[in-house]
Structure 1
Amino acid sequence: MSDNAATRPTAPTGPVPPVAPKHPTVRRFHGNDFSDDYEWMRDKTSRETLDYLEAENAYTDSVTAPLEGLREAIVEEMKTRVKQTDMSVPVRMGGHWYYARTREGSSYPLSCRLAVTPGADAWTPPVISDDESPAGEQVLLDQNVLAEGEEFFQIGCMSVTTSGDYLAYSTDTTGDERFTMHFKDLRSGDLLADELTGLFYGGGWVGEDYFFYVKCDQAWRPYSVWRHRMGTPQERDVCVFTEADEKFWVDVSTTRSEKYIVIEVGSKLTGEAHILEADNPTGQFRCVMERTPGVDYSVDHAVVRGDDRLVVVHNANGVNYEVAEGPVDGFTSIEELSVLVPHDDTVRIEGVDCFRDHLTLGYRKDAIGRIATMNLDPETGYTEFSEIPFDEELYTAGSGGNPEWDAPVIRLGYTSWITPNQVWDYRPATGEKTLLKQQEVGGGYNPDDYIAERMWATATDGTRIPVSVIRRKDVTLDTPRPVILYGYGSYEASNDPGFSVMGLSALNRGVVSVQAHVRGGGEMGRAWYDAGKMLSKTNTFDDFIAVADFLIEQGITTPELLAAEGASAGGLLMGAVANRGGDRFTAIAAIVPFVDPLTSMLMPELPLTVTEWEEWGDPLHDTTVYDYMRSYSPYENVTAKHYPDILAVTNINDTRVLYVEPAKWIAKLRATATGGQFLLKVRMAGGHGGVSGRYDKWRESAFAAAWLINKVTGKTS
């Protein structure tokens, strides 16, 4: 070999990442210019865009090929742990018990029902075999049949008439969350000729002749309510309500009593309700109370001492809301109402459900979601709410699956970080609580082998941040451990305790799972949310970094053993943290990440943008907001420094966070950063929630899980 050959640079080995072409466009707002090299990727019909995305997928697949064994192991673990042939606990509605079945090998559930047996206990669900269908079982929908030949499939709404004779159900076969409503005669099994297209989620029957639903505008804002008369074409449907203000969305439903139809109108800050007697579906809705900026309220119907009343949850007297009651004819101000549960700075009221004989109250205290009940006394009316007790320190409990107005029982769900999902019946009149079902977890799972505990980190401004730490008991914290740190921190959404079958794959490989309950979420009440939005948004990012610093300072982990994960708005958190404190992490996974927020918030024609201005601020019309968002936008603040390895996962048909945001972000990271590996995985079918079908979802989740586990443990199996 010659001297020249010996000194010649060695050609790079391994997969070579694609290099995105730069086609600069200049964005000009408020006297500021921003040159965007990758905005051209927004055109997903362009051959150049599609070729680039396919090249990114090929590169990611090549780089992650050594993790195939780990991914397959995780999927097999899921199959072992999940009871694949199973059924839900039947829910009583009218003369039937309704439930869902899953069968091993099938990706989607079957929706079924069984007639209530005469003479049987009216409110004790029947015991039905998981493996065999009982005599008289009726399959209402087999989603596996409906999904045949589709790359993506999801149900948006299922609603049965009170008589039980007709079913309405909506479907989406692309992932763009635009639904088509179908109607089925459950007596004959035949589909009706009626079909409604271009619908949003939800919708409901009023009697058997009318169906109410919501449509969206071009920005995918649910803005109008429509009345469909069965047996007539959609072109003859009547628009009964339109909301012109682009900050507001609408929804329609009937009260549990089925006495009123309610149209809810809301923005991030303000609410309004309109009601109409259900026995007069072609009548005119009346406004309960005209909207007042900053006042949010919602209503439900209760019968108190024989009189129809509205139970109102509102924030007029404090950010954590209170519960009041008033007349069904409406009111002109909150001051006219009688207070049932006053505002409390330490208790966040989340909602009230009304039944014939009792009310249920959902609320949050000490970062835990709780539930209480109140019996309605026939003579004195309202009594006092009493909390339903549970044993664990960190848990989640809530009511659900309670369609019947006159039911003497409340169906409850319960879970924790280490307790699989449970279903209970609770009788408010007696306080009796009956366990109906606990999620069966195979693979030798024993909750006694795991521990979940609450710790507290301190932010730079002195705020105490709750931290949930979940681990195997044999994985002690007296030496640094591999850690995956999760966060969200937006929309007042809370990372509440919940059992994760997929999460066991990391825990059983020695990983400690940590949840950072940062500001912008709802764990500590409305003020906690307000302190992490708009012009306080950077608190969310600083809190997450403070939690990472806490874990490192306590010796629980090290930067080499610490990874982070977040999705959607949690992906914004990941992008901002990568810029502001990436040296704390070895890897970051960002799922459908909102990493180009300023560009999106400057485009009112995009889905959700205008309604989001009360979450992030309005940079289109406000220079202060523009400057603030530009200061933290992940895409616009990528700099020439070493970054942790980053994986971004997105979906081509996502209408909430467009694929272009992570695509641009990864391209800019690769072109600018001085170190770090950057991967983009684009699902070419599916929407914001990912792929459909449980087995495909397991594989999708296993992809990111395997990548993170490998980064903090080095394991490939």
Structure 2
Amino acid sequence: MKTRVWLPVLLIAAAACNQSPKMNRKPHQWPEGVAAPVAEKIPHIRTIHGDTVTDNYYWMIDFFKKGPDSSKVTDYLEAENAYLEKMMAGTADFQASLFKELKGRIKETDESVPVFKNGYYYYSRTEDGKQYFKYCRKKGSLDAKEEVLADVDKMAEGHAYYAATGFNVSPDNRLMAFGVDTVSRRQYTLYIKNIETGEIFPESIENTSGGSAWANDNKTLFYTSKNAETLLSEKIKRHVLGSGAADDVTVYHEKDNTNYIGVSKSKEGNHIVIGSSGTLSSEYYYLDANRPAGDFKRFTARRKDVLYSITPLEDRFLILTNWNAKNFRLMECPLDKTEFTEWKEVVPHRAEVLLSEVDVFKGFLVLSERKNGLVQLRVINRVSGDDHYLDFGEPTYDAYTGANPDYASAGLRYHYTSMTTPNSTYDYDMLSRKKELKKQQEVLGGYNASDYETERLYATSRDGKKVPISVVYKKGFKKDGNAPLLLYAYGSYGLSMDAGFSSSRLSLLNRGFAFAIAHIRGGEEMGRYWYEEGKMMNKKNTFNDFIDCAHFLVEQKYTTPAHLYAQGGSAGGLLMGAVINQEPELWNGVIADVPFVDVVNTMLDESIPLTTNEFDEWGNPKEKDAYFYIKSYSPYENIRPLNYPHLLVTTGLHDSQVQYFEPAKWVAKLRETRTGDHLILFKTNMEFGHGGASGRFDYLKEVALEYAFLFALEGISE
């Protein structure tokens, strides 16, 4: 399911080994006589809209529901893990070698580019052999003495999972709030630290989003409180130092359970802003940060099919909105007249350009736009009105603004990467228009970008749409149909999967694989309409686009079905389940990470975390038309006696986004129903959740497993 996107390890890992892409291929010998687990069948009847369905594996929800079959569920998951270990035993040494190779590309002792805020330079750094990081600052100069604000390596000791987030220093630089999750369900406990003494205040606040916003009095903190069962962000509360969490005042309570809410502080420092937003509408409230005990004012009322967000400036509000502007436009209004009737246009709507974000400075606006599927950064001088675009110079890439907390600055921090360019941090002078590379991700072991090639292709979908594809491979790759190719996509929630660098991916490319990203509908790469044509009652366009991209790559001889692989996670795992139901023999192997594959049952159960937030994305199956449309593509509902490809499926027992029972049921039903004898392997991480391991190296073991699975199918053993 779910809107908090699963970030694929293929896209975010860190790169390079100079092996030849011509590897000796020897057919992998899978163990014989190892029986796969057979899940018990306990019929459960679902009847709705006159449609009756028998679900033999519904009982697997019991661990989540704390039902009588809880131990039976974990026993089954452990049996699947044991089966995977036996089947992959022949790759154990190779997996260990791959892990060492992947880890060996990462610079263990490293430091982020410092960000200047309110008199201090803030940065994080990592040390050899340590899984986590230290969050630090220096006063006034980078030559000043270092203050370690949070030693996460030490904090994480004794925890199988540990995530620290939301580091937020008070305006007087004396206190720091931060959130901690030790379960991997994104339920953070909020702590407050006295930086001068090192003391952690006694009033910890449980079940929050992890973020917070300080008022200007340095003692009032606003935060987002979650519903303990549904995990919905439900209330914004005000905490005053020295009081207990039970005394915290609710300043906003969201009654619409299809909306997400959050609270933040404006960049110019004078406003606390509450945002409530769903897929189709939004609403904002604001408060003078100098008067934290006051009442929040509504900016303008939510309206059907109107999205907006606000950015306070010193003398006005900026509004980014789709009101009469499908691809969004930028508007403004006075600080004291915020109703939509007072809004004036600043940047008009353009049919060919999506306006996605705005960053503000005292003298400049920086707009993040999308045109022809690519990010553009546009700088507008607020005094002269002159504007210009940054030039990136590659056919496919990703670029985005970084941390720019200094409102008075004329310097823009931005990040750039491509499928051949490691992650790079730049400082750009918006007056002189000169840029300075502050840091580029260092790839240990040697990496030469000129050894690799990237392309931007366009496949024609069955309804005539041009679907972009980003491809990368090592030079020497032959387009003769004999090479392996891994095709990745996500395709939901309007989240764009841009073409970034991955050092882990080099282990694929160096062994002869090409890697491709299909920028399919459901994302927002080509504008808002691209998203709307891949959601709700148009969802099947997402699956068709992916299949059509695969056929295009085969037709262009990048690969053949015998060497074609696919991967997606979360909502991208739904994509994987749908496409193998449609064309099972198009793929030799598929990796489905934390896949959202039981769409009907999950969307019918509002007790499952985040379900109600998703109705505007998938539809509400309690409505007849939505039910039958969702049922027509939901992977679990459409398993048939087909020769499915080899499958590797992963999940986490504590996943708060896509619950473990969805892939568990899917795997059991696939094994029961499919024809053929291709492998179906299923791994449950019994300690983690949606994002996998929290340490910066542990997740590489999962990457090594997935790569070993692909290499075994290709007969690559070294």
1:216 corresponds to 2:213: no
Residues 287, 330 of structure 1: 8 Å contact kept = no
| Equivalent residue in structure 2 for 1:254, among 261, 265, 268 | 265
Is the 2:485–2:513 Cα contact (8 Å) retained in structure 1?
yes
> Which of 1 and 2 has higher RCO (CA within 8 Å, sep 6+)?
2
Look up the SS of the partner of 1:694 in the other structure: coil
Q: Which runs of 5+ in 1 are unaligned?
A: 1-11, 118-125, 127-133
Corresponding pairs, count: 680
1:23 to 2:42 alignment: yes
CA distance in 2 between counterparts of 1:611 and 1:250 reads 11
Deviations 1:592-626 (A, max 9, x none): 00000111111112111111000001111x11110
Once the two structures are superposed, the pairs formed by residues 595-614 of structure 1 within 5 Å of their partners are 595-614=597-616
Equivalent residue runs for 1:398-409 within 5 Å: 398-409=400-411
State the 1:708 CA deviation.
Answer: 2.1
- The answer to whether the aligner puts 1:277 opposite 2:288 as a matched pair is yes
1:74 equivalent in alignment to 2:90:
no
Deviation for aligned residue 1:286: 0.7
- 1:360: Cα distance to partner? 1.2
State the SS of the aligned residue for 1:191: coil
1:298 to 294, 299, 309: 309
Match of residue 700 from structure 2: 698
Sequence identity (%): 40
Distance 1:321 1:223 in 2: 27
The answer for the alignment partner of 1:649 in structure 2 is 650
* Deviation string, structure 1 residues 273-301 (Cα, Å, up to 9, x no partner): 11111111110111111111100000001
Pairing 1:24-103 to 2, within 5 Å after superposition:
24-44=43-63, 45=66, 46-103=70-127
AA aligned to 1:238 is: V
Give the drift of 1:246. 1.1
**Within 2, Cα distance between the matches of 1:474 and 1:75?**
26
Q: Identify which of 502, 513, 527 aligns with 1:500.
A: 502
Q: CA deviation at 1:384?
A: 3.9
Residue of structure 1 aligned with 2:134, choices 92, 98, 110: 110
Q: Which amino acid aligns with 1:104?
A: D
Provide the rounded CA distance (Å) in 2 between the counterparts of 1:580 and 1:478: 26
Secondary structure of the structure 2 residue equivalent to 1:72: helix
| Partners of 2:592 and 2:103 in 1: CA distance | 25
Conserved 8 A contact 1:301-1:354: no
Q: Per-residue deviation at 1:199?
A: 0.7
**CA distance in 1 between partners of 2:430 and 2:638 (Å):** 54
Within-5 A mapping of 1:203-242: 203-207=212-216, 208-217=218-227, 218-242=229-253
Matches within 5 A, 1:141-540: 141-207=150-216, 208-217=218-227, 218-303=229-314, 308-333=315-340, 335-377=341-383, 383-540=385-542
Using the TM superposition, give the Cα deviation of residue 385 of structure 1 relative to its aligned residue in structure 2, in angstroms.
3.4
Decide whether the 8 Å contact of 1:398 with 1:414 is kept in 2: yes
8 Å CA contact 1:262–1:273 kept in 2: the answer is yes
Alpha-carbon shift at residue 135 of structure 1 (Å):
6.1
Deviation track 1:161-183 (CA, whole Å, cap 9, x = no partner) reads: 12211111110001011111111
8 Å Cα contact 1:397-1:414 kept in structure 2: yes
Residue 363 of structure 1: how far off its partner (Å): 1.1
In the TM superposition, 1:551-630 aligns within 5 A as 551-620=553-622, 622-630=623-631
Q: How much does 1:332 deviate?
A: 2.7
CA shift, 1:73, in A, is 2.3
Equivalent of 1:549, from 543, 548, 551? 551
* CA shift for structure 1 position 14: 3.2
Q: Is the contact between residue 77 and residue 443 of structure 1 (CA under 8 Å) also seen in structure 2?
A: no
Instruction: Give the aligned CA root-mean-square deviation in angstroms.
Output: 1.3
Q: Name the CA distance, whole Å, in 2 between partners of 1:462 and 1:373.
A: 35
**TM-score, length basis structure 1:** 0.93
Cα displacement (A) at 1:115: 1.3
Counterpart AA for 1:194: E
Letter of the 2:711 partner, please give it: I
Match of 1:122 in 2: none
Amino acid at match of 1:369: V
CA contact (8 A) 1:511 1:709 kept: no
Distance across 2 between alignment mates of 1:81 and 1:151: 24
Contact 2:492-2:571 within 8 A present in 1 as well = yes
Classify the secondary structure of the residue corresponding to 1:192: coil
Specify the SS of the correspondent of 2:689: coil
Conserved in 1, the CA contact under 8 Å of 2:41 and 2:56? yes
- Closer, same or farther: CA 135–320 of 1 in aligned 2, 3 Å: closer
Residues 4-52 of structure 1, C-alpha deviations (whole Å, 9 max, x = no match): xxxxxxxx93321010000010011111111000010111151111111
- The two structures have a TM-score, normalised by structure 2, of 0.93
Match of 2:636 in 1: 635
Q: Is the 8 A contact 2:108 2:128 kept in 1?
A: yes
1:209/1:230 contact within 8 Å kept: yes
Q: The residue matched to 1:43 in structure 2 has which SS?
A: helix
Give the whole-Å Cα distance in 1 for the aligned partners of 2:346 and 2:104.
Answer: 48
